[in-house]
Chains A and B, each alone.
Chain A
Protein backbone atom coordinates (compact mmCIF):
# COMPACT_ATOMS: atom_id res chain seq x y z
CA UNK A 1 0.00 0.00 0.00
CA UNK A 2 1.25 3.45 -0.85
CA UNK A 3 1.53 4.98 2.61
CA UNK A 4 1.69 8.45 1.08
CA UNK A 5 -2.04 8.15 0.39
CA UNK A 6 -2.64 8.13 4.16
CA UNK A 7 -2.46 10.81 6.83
CA UNK A 8 -0.52 9.76 9.91
CA UNK A 9 -2.59 10.19 13.07
CA UNK A 10 -0.03 8.49 15.30
CA UNK A 11 2.88 6.12 14.57
CA UNK A 12 0.30 3.31 14.83
CA UNK A 13 -2.78 4.76 13.15
CA UNK A 14 -3.39 6.21 9.67
CA UNK A 15 -6.36 8.00 8.21
CA UNK A 16 -7.91 8.06 4.71
CA UNK A 17 -11.42 8.94 3.47
CA UNK A 18 -13.33 8.09 6.64
CA UNK A 19 -11.21 5.05 7.42
CA UNK A 20 -8.59 4.48 10.11
CA UNK A 21 -5.90 1.86 9.63
CA UNK A 22 -4.05 0.59 12.70
CA UNK A 23 -0.45 -0.59 12.44
CA UNK A 24 3.07 0.72 12.10
CA UNK A 25 4.31 2.14 8.81
CA UNK A 26 6.07 -1.10 7.73
CA UNK A 27 2.97 -3.26 8.34
CA UNK A 28 0.69 -0.79 6.56
CA UNK A 29 3.10 -0.53 3.64
CA UNK A 30 3.08 -4.31 3.22
CA UNK A 31 -0.73 -4.46 2.97
CA UNK A 32 -2.37 -4.85 -0.44
CA UNK A 33 -3.87 -1.65 -1.95
CA UNK A 34 -7.19 -3.53 -1.94
CA UNK A 35 -7.31 -3.24 1.88
CA UNK A 36 -7.50 0.55 1.56
CA UNK A 37 -10.03 0.34 -1.27
CA UNK A 38 -12.25 -2.04 0.71
CA UNK A 39 -12.18 -0.17 4.03
CA UNK A 40 -12.79 3.23 2.42
CA UNK A 41 -15.79 1.65 0.65
CA UNK A 42 -17.06 0.43 4.03
CA UNK A 43 -16.71 4.00 5.30
CA UNK A 44 -19.27 5.09 2.67
CA UNK A 45 -22.03 2.79 3.95
CA UNK A 46 -25.10 4.39 5.60
CA UNK A 47 -25.27 4.88 9.35
CA UNK A 48 -21.56 4.38 10.05
CA UNK A 49 -20.53 5.70 13.47
CA UNK A 50 -16.99 7.00 13.77
CA UNK A 51 -14.58 5.56 11.25
CA UNK A 52 -14.35 2.22 9.48
CA UNK A 53 -11.18 0.61 10.80
CA UNK A 54 -8.63 -2.08 10.03
CA UNK A 55 -6.56 -3.97 12.59
CA UNK A 56 -2.80 -4.48 12.18
CA UNK A 57 -3.35 -7.97 10.70
CA UNK A 58 -5.66 -6.70 7.95
CA UNK A 59 -5.62 -8.23 4.51
CA UNK A 60 -7.76 -8.23 1.38
CA UNK A 61 -11.10 -10.01 1.87
CA UNK A 62 -14.47 -9.89 0.13
CA UNK A 63 -16.78 -7.01 0.99
CA UNK A 64 -15.00 -5.88 4.14
CA UNK A 65 -11.27 -6.50 4.42
CA UNK A 66 -10.31 -9.21 6.88
CA UNK A 67 -9.33 -7.36 10.04
CA UNK A 68 -12.16 -4.86 9.42
CA UNK A 69 -14.21 -3.22 12.18
CA UNK A 70 -17.22 -0.94 11.61
CA UNK A 71 -20.00 0.30 13.90
CA UNK A 72 -23.50 1.15 12.67
CA UNK A 73 -26.46 2.78 14.41
CA UNK A 74 -29.80 1.20 13.52
CA UNK A 75 -31.66 4.39 14.44
CA UNK A 76 -29.61 6.36 11.92
CA UNK A 77 -30.26 4.03 9.00
CA UNK A 78 -27.26 1.88 9.80
CA UNK A 79 -26.75 -1.33 7.87
CA UNK A 80 -25.85 -4.95 8.52
CA UNK A 81 -23.59 -6.59 5.94
CA UNK A 82 -23.10 -10.30 5.27
CA UNK A 83 -19.73 -9.42 3.73
CA UNK A 84 -18.87 -7.63 6.99
CA UNK A 85 -19.17 -10.86 8.93
CA UNK A 86 -17.86 -13.42 6.46
CA UNK A 87 -18.89 -16.90 5.35
CA UNK A 88 -17.50 -18.56 8.45
CA UNK A 89 -19.83 -16.83 10.89
CA UNK A 90 -18.47 -16.77 14.46
CA UNK A 91 -15.20 -18.39 13.50
CA UNK A 92 -13.12 -18.09 16.63
CA UNK A 93 -10.79 -19.70 19.13
CA UNK A 94 -11.55 -21.85 22.17
CA UNK A 95 -8.51 -21.81 24.44
CA UNK A 96 -8.09 -24.46 27.14
CA UNK A 97 -5.38 -24.41 29.84
CA UNK A 98 -4.00 -27.78 30.96
CA UNK A 99 -2.78 -28.93 34.35
CA UNK A 100 0.24 -30.29 32.48
CA UNK A 101 3.62 -29.03 31.42
CA UNK A 102 5.40 -29.92 28.18
CA UNK A 103 7.60 -32.27 30.23
CA UNK A 104 4.50 -34.36 30.95
CA UNK A 105 3.51 -34.53 27.31
CA UNK A 106 6.82 -34.82 25.48
CA UNK A 107 7.32 -38.56 26.16
CA UNK A 108 3.87 -39.36 24.74
CA UNK A 109 3.61 -36.55 22.21
CA UNK A 110 3.22 -38.84 19.19
CA UNK A 111 0.55 -40.98 20.87
CA UNK A 112 -1.31 -37.85 21.95
CA UNK A 113 -1.13 -36.40 18.43
CA UNK A 114 -2.47 -39.68 17.00
CA UNK A 115 -5.24 -39.78 19.61
CA UNK A 116 -6.30 -36.21 18.82
CA UNK A 117 -6.12 -36.86 15.08
CA UNK A 118 -8.41 -39.88 15.44
CA UNK A 119 -10.83 -38.02 17.72
CA UNK A 120 -11.19 -34.74 15.86
CA UNK A 121 -12.73 -35.02 12.38
CA UNK A 122 -10.79 -32.57 10.22
CA UNK A 123 -10.58 -31.65 6.56
CA UNK A 124 -12.77 -31.58 3.48
CA UNK A 125 -15.27 -34.46 3.21
CA UNK A 126 -14.98 -35.52 6.86
CA UNK A 127 -18.13 -36.09 8.87
CA UNK A 128 -18.62 -35.75 12.62
CA UNK A 129 -19.69 -38.57 14.89
CA UNK A 130 -22.80 -36.64 15.90
CA UNK A 131 -25.66 -36.78 13.41
CA UNK A 132 -28.56 -34.44 14.21
CA UNK A 133 -32.04 -34.08 12.75
CA UNK A 134 -33.34 -30.71 11.60
CA UNK A 135 -35.44 -30.27 14.79
CA UNK A 136 -32.42 -30.92 17.03
CA UNK A 137 -30.39 -28.52 14.95
CA UNK A 138 -33.01 -25.83 15.58
CA UNK A 139 -32.43 -26.37 19.29
CA UNK A 140 -28.65 -26.02 18.87
CA UNK A 141 -29.25 -22.78 16.94
CA UNK A 142 -31.30 -21.46 19.86
CA UNK A 143 -29.09 -22.65 22.73
CA UNK A 144 -25.52 -22.86 21.44
CA UNK A 145 -22.87 -24.23 23.81
CA UNK A 146 -25.51 -24.58 26.51
CA UNK A 147 -27.12 -27.28 24.33
CA UNK A 148 -23.75 -29.01 24.00
CA UNK A 149 -23.18 -29.03 27.77
CA UNK A 150 -26.71 -30.35 28.41
CA UNK A 151 -25.99 -33.07 25.83
CA UNK A 152 -22.93 -34.25 27.75
CA UNK A 153 -20.16 -32.31 25.99
CA UNK A 154 -18.21 -30.50 28.68
CA UNK A 155 -19.36 -28.90 31.90
CA UNK A 156 -21.40 -25.88 32.95
CA UNK A 157 -18.17 -24.29 34.24
CA UNK A 158 -16.99 -23.98 30.62
CA UNK A 159 -19.88 -21.65 29.87
CA UNK A 160 -18.67 -18.97 32.31
CA UNK A 161 -15.69 -18.47 30.01
CA UNK A 162 -17.48 -18.47 26.66
CA UNK A 163 -18.74 -15.20 25.13
CA UNK A 164 -22.46 -14.68 25.81
CA UNK A 165 -22.08 -17.57 28.34
CA UNK A 166 -22.39 -19.87 25.36
CA UNK A 167 -25.82 -18.79 24.13
CA UNK A 168 -26.27 -15.90 21.71
CA UNK A 169 -29.60 -14.15 22.10
CA UNK A 170 -31.70 -13.24 19.05
CA UNK A 171 -31.28 -16.49 17.13
CA UNK A 172 -34.11 -17.19 14.70
CA UNK A 173 -33.74 -20.61 13.07
CA UNK A 174 -36.71 -19.87 10.82
CA UNK A 175 -34.46 -17.32 9.06
CA UNK A 176 -32.04 -20.15 8.18
CA UNK A 177 -32.65 -21.98 4.89
CA UNK A 178 -33.23 -25.71 4.70
CA UNK A 179 -30.07 -25.92 2.57
CA UNK A 180 -28.07 -24.43 5.45
CA UNK A 181 -29.58 -26.87 7.92
CA UNK A 182 -28.90 -29.84 5.64
CA UNK A 183 -25.26 -28.79 5.27
CA UNK A 184 -24.90 -28.97 9.05
CA UNK A 185 -26.54 -32.31 9.85
CA UNK A 186 -23.24 -34.23 9.92
CA UNK A 187 -20.97 -31.30 10.72
CA UNK A 188 -21.26 -30.86 14.50
CA UNK A 189 -17.92 -31.55 16.17
CA UNK A 190 -15.82 -31.09 13.02
CA UNK A 191 -12.81 -28.83 12.62
CA UNK A 192 -12.96 -27.94 8.92
CA UNK A 193 -9.88 -27.08 6.87
CA UNK A 194 -7.96 -24.02 5.60
CA UNK A 195 -6.60 -22.06 8.55
CA UNK A 196 -8.55 -24.06 11.14
CA UNK A 197 -6.59 -26.10 13.65
CA UNK A 198 -6.34 -27.72 17.03
CA UNK A 199 -2.97 -26.89 18.49
CA UNK A 200 -1.11 -27.90 21.63
CA UNK A 201 1.02 -24.97 22.68
CA UNK A 202 3.52 -24.21 25.44
CA UNK A 203 3.49 -20.94 27.37
CA UNK A 204 7.06 -19.78 26.82
CA UNK A 205 6.97 -16.11 27.74
CA UNK A 206 4.89 -14.03 30.12
CA UNK A 207 4.58 -10.27 29.54
CA UNK A 208 2.00 -9.37 32.19
CA UNK A 209 2.33 -11.44 35.37
CA UNK A 210 -0.86 -10.16 36.99
CA UNK A 211 -3.07 -10.87 33.99
CA UNK A 212 -1.31 -14.20 33.37
CA UNK A 213 -2.13 -15.21 36.92
CA UNK A 214 -5.78 -14.29 36.41
CA UNK A 215 -5.84 -16.29 33.17
CA UNK A 216 -4.13 -19.26 34.92
CA UNK A 217 -1.06 -19.13 32.64
CA UNK A 218 2.42 -20.14 33.79
CA UNK A 219 5.64 -20.54 31.84
CA UNK A 220 6.09 -24.13 30.68
CA UNK A 221 2.41 -25.01 31.02
CA UNK A 222 0.28 -26.32 28.16
CA UNK A 223 -2.55 -24.57 26.37
CA UNK A 224 -4.84 -26.16 23.76
CA UNK A 225 -6.29 -23.80 21.14
CA UNK A 226 -9.13 -24.80 18.83
CA UNK A 227 -9.75 -22.53 15.82
CA UNK A 228 -12.94 -23.13 13.84
CA UNK A 229 -16.43 -21.76 13.26
CA UNK A 230 -20.02 -22.47 12.30
CA UNK A 231 -19.15 -25.01 9.59
CA UNK A 232 -21.55 -25.72 6.73
CA UNK A 233 -24.52 -23.93 8.28
CA UNK A 234 -22.66 -20.65 8.63
CA UNK A 235 -21.14 -20.99 5.16
CA UNK A 236 -24.58 -21.51 3.61
CA UNK A 237 -26.09 -18.56 5.51
CA UNK A 238 -23.26 -16.41 4.15
CA UNK A 239 -23.97 -17.75 0.65
CA UNK A 240 -27.74 -17.26 0.89
CA UNK A 241 -27.67 -13.75 2.31
CA UNK A 242 -24.76 -12.38 0.27
CA UNK A 243 -26.82 -12.92 -2.89
CA UNK A 244 -30.15 -11.98 -1.32
CA UNK A 245 -28.80 -8.70 0.07
CA UNK A 246 -26.91 -7.85 -3.14
CA UNK A 247 -30.10 -8.23 -5.16
CA UNK A 248 -32.16 -6.31 -2.59
CA UNK A 249 -29.80 -3.31 -2.31
CA UNK A 250 -31.45 -1.25 -5.08
CA UNK A 251 -34.96 -1.92 -3.76
CA UNK A 252 -33.78 -0.99 -0.25
CA UNK A 253 -32.43 2.32 -1.52
CA UNK A 254 -28.80 1.54 -0.77
CA UNK A 255 -26.17 2.66 -3.26
CA UNK A 256 -23.35 0.19 -2.87
CA UNK A 257 -19.83 1.37 -3.78
CA UNK A 258 -19.28 -2.30 -4.66
CA UNK A 259 -21.93 -5.04 -4.73
CA UNK A 260 -19.73 -7.31 -2.64
CA UNK A 261 -20.68 -4.98 0.25
CA UNK A 262 -24.20 -6.46 0.06
CA UNK A 263 -26.10 -5.13 3.04
CA UNK A 264 -29.49 -4.04 4.31
CA UNK A 265 -30.69 -1.51 6.87
CA UNK A 266 -30.60 -3.17 10.29
CA UNK A 267 -34.29 -2.38 10.79
CA UNK A 268 -35.42 -3.65 7.36
CA UNK A 269 -37.06 -7.10 7.07
CA UNK A 270 -34.00 -8.36 5.18
CA UNK A 271 -31.63 -6.94 7.81
CA UNK A 272 -33.59 -8.48 10.67
CA UNK A 273 -33.70 -11.84 8.88
CA UNK A 274 -29.94 -11.85 8.38
CA UNK A 275 -29.37 -10.96 12.04
CA UNK A 276 -31.67 -13.82 13.14
CA UNK A 277 -29.82 -16.24 10.87
CA UNK A 278 -26.36 -14.94 11.87
CA UNK A 279 -27.16 -15.30 15.58
CA UNK A 280 -28.27 -18.89 14.89
CA UNK A 281 -24.90 -19.55 13.24
CA UNK A 282 -23.08 -17.99 16.20
CA UNK A 283 -24.76 -20.56 18.44
CA UNK A 284 -23.74 -23.36 16.07
CA UNK A 285 -20.12 -22.19 16.29
CA UNK A 286 -20.22 -21.95 20.08
CA UNK A 287 -21.72 -25.47 20.30
CA UNK A 288 -19.18 -26.80 17.80
CA UNK A 289 -16.18 -25.52 19.76
CA UNK A 290 -17.75 -26.85 22.98
CA UNK A 291 -18.00 -30.32 21.41
CA UNK A 292 -14.45 -30.13 20.06
CA UNK A 293 -13.19 -29.15 23.53
CA UNK A 294 -14.91 -32.25 24.90
CA UNK A 295 -13.38 -34.47 22.19
CA UNK A 296 -9.94 -33.01 22.98
CA UNK A 297 -10.43 -33.82 26.68
CA UNK A 298 -11.37 -37.41 25.79
CA UNK A 299 -8.30 -37.78 23.58
CA UNK A 300 -6.05 -36.36 26.33
CA UNK A 301 -7.47 -38.61 29.04
CA UNK A 302 -6.83 -41.75 26.95
CA UNK A 303 -3.12 -40.98 26.83
CA UNK A 304 -2.68 -38.89 29.98
CA UNK A 305 -5.18 -40.04 32.65
CA UNK A 306 -5.61 -37.29 35.24
CA UNK A 307 -5.18 -34.53 32.67
CA UNK A 308 -7.50 -31.58 33.10
CA UNK A 309 -8.34 -29.02 30.41
CA UNK A 310 -10.19 -25.95 31.70
CA UNK A 311 -11.70 -23.37 29.38
CA UNK A 312 -9.60 -20.21 29.54
CA UNK A 313 -11.83 -18.36 27.08
CA UNK A 314 -13.79 -18.74 23.86
CA UNK A 315 -13.86 -15.72 21.60
CA UNK A 316 -15.23 -15.27 18.07
CA UNK A 317 -13.69 -13.05 15.42
CA UNK A 318 -16.33 -13.06 12.60
CA UNK A 319 -19.48 -11.48 14.03
CA UNK A 320 -21.75 -8.48 14.19
CA UNK A 321 -22.94 -7.81 17.75
CA UNK A 322 -25.14 -5.21 19.38
CA UNK A 323 -23.04 -3.49 22.05
CA UNK A 324 -23.09 -0.36 24.14
CA UNK A 325 -20.22 2.04 23.48
CA UNK A 326 -19.46 5.58 24.54
CA UNK A 327 -19.13 7.84 21.48
CA UNK A 328 -18.44 11.54 21.99
CA UNK A 329 -19.46 11.25 25.63
CA UNK A 330 -22.81 9.63 24.76
CA UNK A 331 -23.70 5.99 25.42
CA UNK A 332 -25.00 4.39 22.22
CA UNK A 333 -26.21 0.94 21.18
CA UNK A 334 -24.30 0.00 18.06
CA UNK A 335 -23.98 -2.97 15.75
CA UNK A 336 -20.26 -3.72 15.68
CA UNK A 337 -19.07 -5.67 12.66
CA UNK A 338 -15.86 -7.53 13.36
CA UNK A 339 -14.62 -9.48 10.36
CA UNK A 340 -11.36 -11.11 11.33
CA UNK A 341 -11.18 -8.96 14.46
CA UNK A 342 -11.45 -10.01 18.10
CA UNK A 343 -13.63 -8.36 20.71
CA UNK A 344 -11.39 -6.95 23.44
CA UNK A 345 -13.46 -5.78 26.41
CA UNK A 346 -11.55 -3.69 28.98
CA UNK A 347 -11.21 -4.46 32.70
CA UNK A 348 -14.46 -4.17 34.68
CA UNK A 349 -16.68 -4.67 31.65
CA UNK A 350 -19.97 -6.16 32.92
CA UNK A 351 -19.87 -9.03 30.39
CA UNK A 352 -16.56 -10.36 31.71
CA UNK A 353 -16.48 -13.32 34.09
CA UNK A 354 -15.58 -12.33 37.64
CA UNK A 355 -12.15 -13.98 37.37
CA UNK A 356 -11.11 -11.60 34.54
CA UNK A 357 -12.74 -8.40 35.81
CA UNK A 358 -9.43 -6.81 36.85
CA UNK A 359 -7.32 -8.11 33.95
CA UNK A 360 -9.68 -7.48 31.03
CA UNK A 361 -10.95 -9.91 28.42
CA UNK A 362 -8.56 -12.56 27.10
CA UNK A 363 -7.80 -11.79 23.45
CA UNK A 364 -6.46 -14.78 21.56
CA UNK A 365 -4.34 -14.09 18.48
CA UNK A 366 -3.54 -17.23 16.54
CA UNK A 367 -0.31 -17.23 14.58
CA UNK A 368 0.92 -19.74 12.02
CA UNK A 369 1.72 -23.37 12.82
CA UNK A 370 5.43 -22.63 12.93
CA UNK A 371 5.72 -19.32 14.75
CA UNK A 372 3.39 -19.16 17.72
CA UNK A 373 0.35 -17.41 19.09
CA UNK A 374 -0.38 -14.83 21.76
CA UNK A 375 -2.84 -14.24 24.54
CA UNK A 376 -3.50 -10.58 25.18
CA UNK A 377 -5.90 -8.70 27.44
CA UNK A 378 -8.41 -5.96 26.67
CA UNK A 379 -7.30 -2.46 27.60
CA UNK A 380 -9.16 0.57 28.95
CA UNK A 381 -9.50 3.26 26.31
CA UNK A 382 -9.40 0.90 23.30
CA UNK A 383 -10.04 3.27 20.36
CA UNK A 384 -11.65 0.67 18.05
CA UNK A 385 -14.99 -0.17 19.69
CA UNK A 386 -13.19 -2.70 21.94
CA UNK A 387 -11.61 -4.59 19.03
CA UNK A 388 -8.16 -6.02 18.35
CA UNK A 389 -6.33 -8.20 15.82
CA UNK A 390 -7.28 -11.87 15.39
CA UNK A 391 -4.26 -13.53 13.81
CA UNK A 392 -1.01 -13.00 12.00
CA UNK A 393 -2.80 -12.16 8.75
CA UNK A 394 -1.79 -13.61 5.40
CA UNK A 395 1.13 -12.08 3.57
CA UNK A 396 0.98 -14.38 0.55
CA UNK A 397 -1.91 -15.89 -1.42
CA UNK A 398 -2.80 -19.56 -1.07
CA UNK A 399 -2.01 -20.24 -4.74
CA UNK A 400 1.48 -18.73 -4.42
CA UNK A 401 2.13 -20.55 -1.14
CA UNK A 402 1.03 -23.89 -2.64
CA UNK A 403 3.51 -23.36 -5.50
CA UNK A 404 6.34 -22.22 -3.24
CA UNK A 405 6.22 -24.90 -0.53
CA UNK A 406 5.91 -28.67 -0.63
CA UNK A 407 3.54 -29.84 2.09
CA UNK A 408 5.46 -33.02 2.97
CA UNK A 409 8.82 -31.24 3.10
CA UNK A 410 7.32 -28.49 5.25
CA UNK A 411 5.88 -30.99 7.73
CA UNK A 412 9.30 -32.71 7.95
CA UNK A 413 11.02 -29.37 8.45
CA UNK A 414 8.64 -28.43 11.27
CA UNK A 415 9.09 -31.90 12.84
CA UNK A 416 12.85 -31.25 12.91
CA UNK A 417 12.05 -28.10 14.91
CA UNK A 418 9.94 -30.12 17.37
CA UNK A 419 6.53 -29.24 15.90
CA UNK A 420 4.37 -32.25 15.05
CA UNK A 421 1.80 -31.65 12.27
CA UNK A 422 -1.03 -34.09 11.59
CA UNK A 423 -3.02 -33.50 8.40
CA UNK A 424 -4.50 -35.36 5.44
CA UNK A 425 -3.94 -32.42 3.11
CA UNK A 426 -0.43 -31.75 1.85
CA UNK A 427 -1.75 -28.90 -0.27
CA UNK A 428 -3.39 -27.45 2.86
CA UNK A 429 -0.09 -27.69 4.76
CA UNK A 430 1.73 -25.83 1.98
CA UNK A 431 -0.94 -23.10 1.86
CA UNK A 432 -0.60 -22.65 5.61
CA UNK A 433 3.21 -22.42 5.58
CA UNK A 434 4.50 -20.07 8.29
CA UNK A 435 6.20 -18.03 5.56
CA UNK A 436 2.81 -17.27 3.99
CA UNK A 437 1.84 -15.24 7.06
CA UNK A 438 2.91 -11.86 8.38
CA UNK A 439 5.29 -11.69 11.32
CA UNK A 440 2.90 -12.35 14.22
CA UNK A 441 5.33 -10.75 16.71
CA UNK A 442 5.15 -7.46 14.85
CA UNK A 443 1.36 -7.65 14.42
CA UNK A 444 0.96 -8.20 18.16
CA UNK A 445 3.44 -5.47 19.09
CA UNK A 446 1.56 -3.03 16.84
CA UNK A 447 -1.71 -4.18 18.43
CA UNK A 448 -0.24 -3.31 21.81
CA UNK A 449 1.30 -0.03 20.69
CA UNK A 450 -2.04 1.07 19.20
CA UNK A 451 -3.66 0.34 22.60
CA UNK A 452 -5.97 -2.26 21.07
CA UNK A 453 -4.88 -4.87 23.66
CA UNK A 454 -1.79 -5.67 25.75
CA UNK A 455 0.40 -8.75 25.61
CA UNK A 456 0.00 -11.32 28.38
CA UNK A 457 1.71 -14.48 27.10
CA UNK A 458 3.39 -16.03 24.06
CA UNK A 459 2.55 -19.60 23.09
CA UNK A 460 4.83 -21.88 21.06
CA UNK A 461 3.28 -24.63 18.90
CA UNK A 462 4.17 -28.26 19.63
CA UNK A 463 1.39 -30.39 18.07
CA UNK A 464 -0.96 -29.16 15.36
CA UNK A 465 -3.98 -30.99 13.94
CA UNK A 466 -4.94 -29.40 10.61
CA UNK A 467 -7.83 -30.06 8.25
Chain B
Protein backbone atom coordinates (compact mmCIF):
# COMPACT_ATOMS: atom_id res chain seq x y z
CA UNK B 1 0.00 0.00 0.00
CA UNK B 2 1.52 3.30 -1.09
CA UNK B 3 1.46 6.58 0.78
CA UNK B 4 0.54 10.02 -0.45
CA UNK B 5 1.41 13.58 0.49
CA UNK B 6 1.84 17.15 -0.73
CA UNK B 7 4.55 19.71 -1.43
CA UNK B 8 4.50 23.47 -1.69
CA UNK B 9 3.61 25.52 -4.77
CA UNK B 10 2.50 29.17 -4.75
CA UNK B 11 -0.69 28.97 -6.81
CA UNK B 12 -1.44 25.28 -7.13
CA UNK B 13 -0.72 22.07 -5.20
CA UNK B 14 2.18 19.61 -5.43
CA UNK B 15 1.17 15.95 -4.95
CA UNK B 16 3.33 12.94 -4.15
CA UNK B 17 2.78 9.19 -4.15
CA UNK B 18 5.23 6.52 -2.95
CA UNK B 19 5.13 2.73 -3.13
CA UNK B 20 7.09 -0.47 -3.59
CA UNK B 21 6.35 -0.41 -7.33
CA UNK B 22 5.84 2.40 -9.83
CA UNK B 23 2.20 1.32 -10.13
CA UNK B 24 1.71 1.58 -6.37
CA UNK B 25 3.29 5.05 -6.38
CA UNK B 26 0.88 6.14 -9.13
CA UNK B 27 -2.10 4.73 -7.22
CA UNK B 28 -1.02 6.74 -4.17
CA UNK B 29 -0.58 9.88 -6.28
CA UNK B 30 -4.17 9.42 -7.47
CA UNK B 31 -5.31 9.34 -3.84
CA UNK B 32 -3.41 12.59 -3.22
CA UNK B 33 -5.20 14.19 -6.17
CA UNK B 34 -8.69 13.08 -5.15
CA UNK B 35 -8.09 14.02 -1.50
CA UNK B 36 -7.92 17.61 -2.74
CA UNK B 37 -11.42 17.27 -4.20
CA UNK B 38 -13.23 15.14 -1.61
CA UNK B 39 -12.97 13.25 1.67
CA UNK B 40 -11.88 9.78 0.50
CA UNK B 41 -13.49 8.12 3.53
CA UNK B 42 -16.92 9.38 2.45
CA UNK B 43 -16.73 7.96 -1.08
CA UNK B 44 -18.59 4.66 -1.48
CA UNK B 45 -17.12 2.07 -3.91
CA UNK B 46 -20.22 1.84 -6.10
CA UNK B 47 -18.84 2.04 -9.64
CA UNK B 48 -15.63 0.90 -11.33
CA UNK B 49 -14.22 2.81 -14.30
CA UNK B 50 -11.57 1.24 -16.54
CA UNK B 51 -8.69 3.32 -17.86
CA UNK B 52 -6.28 2.14 -20.56
CA UNK B 53 -3.40 4.03 -22.10
CA UNK B 54 0.00 3.49 -23.69
CA UNK B 55 3.09 5.43 -22.60
CA UNK B 56 6.72 4.34 -22.41
CA UNK B 57 7.99 7.35 -20.42
CA UNK B 58 7.18 6.96 -16.69
CA UNK B 59 6.88 10.70 -16.10
CA UNK B 60 4.49 11.24 -18.98
CA UNK B 61 2.65 8.10 -17.83
CA UNK B 62 2.06 9.67 -14.40
CA UNK B 63 0.62 12.83 -15.98
CA UNK B 64 -1.49 10.78 -18.40
CA UNK B 65 -2.84 8.54 -15.59
CA UNK B 66 -3.80 11.49 -13.41
CA UNK B 67 -5.33 13.45 -16.28
CA UNK B 68 -7.37 10.45 -17.42
CA UNK B 69 -8.71 10.16 -13.87
CA UNK B 70 -9.57 13.87 -13.83
CA UNK B 71 -11.36 13.48 -17.17
CA UNK B 72 -13.35 10.42 -16.08
CA UNK B 73 -14.32 11.99 -12.77
CA UNK B 74 -15.36 15.33 -14.19
CA UNK B 75 -17.21 14.10 -17.25
CA UNK B 76 -19.13 11.54 -15.13
CA UNK B 77 -19.55 13.89 -12.12
CA UNK B 78 -17.90 11.28 -9.90
CA UNK B 79 -15.44 11.13 -7.03
CA UNK B 80 -12.98 8.24 -6.82
CA UNK B 81 -11.29 6.85 -3.70
CA UNK B 82 -9.75 3.52 -4.71
CA UNK B 83 -7.32 2.92 -7.53
CA UNK B 84 -5.44 0.03 -9.06
CA UNK B 85 -2.96 0.08 -11.91
CA UNK B 86 -1.12 -2.62 -13.85
CA UNK B 87 1.62 -2.24 -16.45
CA UNK B 88 2.65 -4.50 -19.27
CA UNK B 89 5.54 -2.81 -21.08
CA UNK B 90 4.20 0.53 -22.26
CA UNK B 91 0.56 -0.52 -21.87
CA UNK B 92 -1.17 0.51 -18.67
CA UNK B 93 -4.53 -0.69 -17.36
CA UNK B 94 -6.11 1.05 -14.42
CA UNK B 95 -9.31 1.01 -12.42
CA UNK B 96 -10.87 3.83 -10.45
CA UNK B 97 -13.64 3.05 -8.00
CA UNK B 98 -16.06 5.57 -6.53
CA UNK B 99 -19.50 7.13 -6.74
CA UNK B 100 -21.38 10.04 -8.25
CA UNK B 101 -21.30 13.23 -6.19
CA UNK B 102 -24.06 13.53 -3.60
CA UNK B 103 -25.12 16.55 -1.56
CA UNK B 104 -23.85 15.02 1.67
CA UNK B 105 -20.27 14.69 0.46
CA UNK B 106 -17.58 17.13 1.63
CA UNK B 107 -16.38 19.36 -1.21
CA UNK B 108 -12.77 20.34 -1.61
CA UNK B 109 -11.28 22.14 -4.61
CA UNK B 110 -11.62 21.18 -8.25
CA UNK B 111 -8.43 19.88 -9.91
CA UNK B 112 -8.19 21.14 -13.49
CA UNK B 113 -5.32 18.90 -14.53
CA UNK B 114 -1.87 17.51 -13.77
CA UNK B 115 1.04 19.57 -15.13
CA UNK B 116 4.61 18.85 -16.20
CA UNK B 117 5.86 21.13 -13.44
CA UNK B 118 7.69 19.54 -10.51
CA UNK B 119 7.20 16.26 -12.37
CA UNK B 120 9.38 13.30 -11.45
CA UNK B 121 9.12 9.52 -11.12
CA UNK B 122 12.15 8.00 -9.39
CA UNK B 123 13.21 4.83 -7.68
CA UNK B 124 14.90 5.69 -4.40
CA UNK B 125 16.30 2.57 -2.78
CA UNK B 126 13.45 0.06 -2.65
CA UNK B 127 10.78 2.69 -3.06
CA UNK B 128 9.29 4.48 -6.04
CA UNK B 129 8.32 8.15 -5.68
CA UNK B 130 6.02 9.99 -8.11
CA UNK B 131 5.25 13.71 -7.94
CA UNK B 132 3.91 16.63 -9.92
CA UNK B 133 1.97 19.84 -9.51
CA UNK B 134 -1.75 19.82 -10.19
CA UNK B 135 -3.60 22.94 -11.29
CA UNK B 136 -6.50 23.87 -9.01
B8 partner, pick from A183, A194, A239, A400, beta carbons under 8 A: A400
Q: Is the CB of B109 within 8 A of A246?
A: no
Kindly state whether residue A238 has any CB partner on chain B within 8 Å. Answer: yes
A394 partner, pick from B10, B77, B101, beta carbons under 8 A: B10
Q: Is the CB of B107 within 8 A of A425?
A: yes
B-facing residues in A41-72 (Cβ within 8 Å): 59-63, 66
In angstroms, Cα B63 to Cα A259, docked, is: 13
Q: Is the CB of A62 within 8 A of B133?
A: yes
- Shortest CB-to-CB span from A178 to chain B, Å, is 10
Kindly state whether residue B90 has any CB partner on chain A within 8 Å. Answer: no
Interface string of A29-47 (1 = CB under 8 A from B): 0001010000000000000
Q: Which candidate, B17-25, B44-52, B112-120, is the interface stretch facing chain A?
A: B112-120
In angstroms, Cα B116 to Cα A247, docked, is: 11
Interface string of A365-399 (1 = CB under 8 A from B): 00000000000000000000000000000101111
A-facing residues in B58-93 (Cβ within 8 Å): 60, 63-64, 67, 70-71, 74-75, 77, 79
Q: Which candidate, A122-130, A134-142, A144-152, is the interface stretch facing chain B?
A: A122-130
Q: Contacts A194-B136, A239-B67 given; indicate if A124 touches B12 (C-beta within 8 A).
A: no
Kindly state whether residue A88 has any CB partner on chain B within 8 Å. Answer: yes
- What are the residues of chain A within 8 A of B12 when measuring CB–CB? 61-62, 398
- Shortest CB-to-CB span from B54 to chain A, Å, is 13
Q: How many A-B residue pairs have CB under 8 A?
A: 135
B11 partner, pick from A63, A66, A182, A427, beta carbons under 8 A: A66
- Shortest CB-to-CB span from B5 to chain A, Å, is 10
Q: Contacts A124-B109, A243-B63, A398-B136 given; indicate if A60 touches B115 (C-beta within 8 A).
A: no
Question: Which partner residue on chain A sits nearest B117 by CB separation?
Answer: A62
In angstroms, Cα B12 to Cα A59, docked, is: 11
User: 11 extra interchain contacts, Cβ-Cβ under 8 A, other than A34-B10, A127-B77, A427-B106?
Assistant: A59-B10, A60-B9, A63-B116, A87-B112, A124-B38, A185-B75, A193-B109, A246-B60, A398-B11, A398-B13, A428-B109
Residues of A within 8 A of B (CB): 32, 34, 59-63, 66, 83, 86-88, 123-127, 179, 182-183, 185-186, 192-194, 232, 235-236, 238-239, 242-243, 246-247, 259-260, 262, 394, 396-400, 424-428, 431, 467
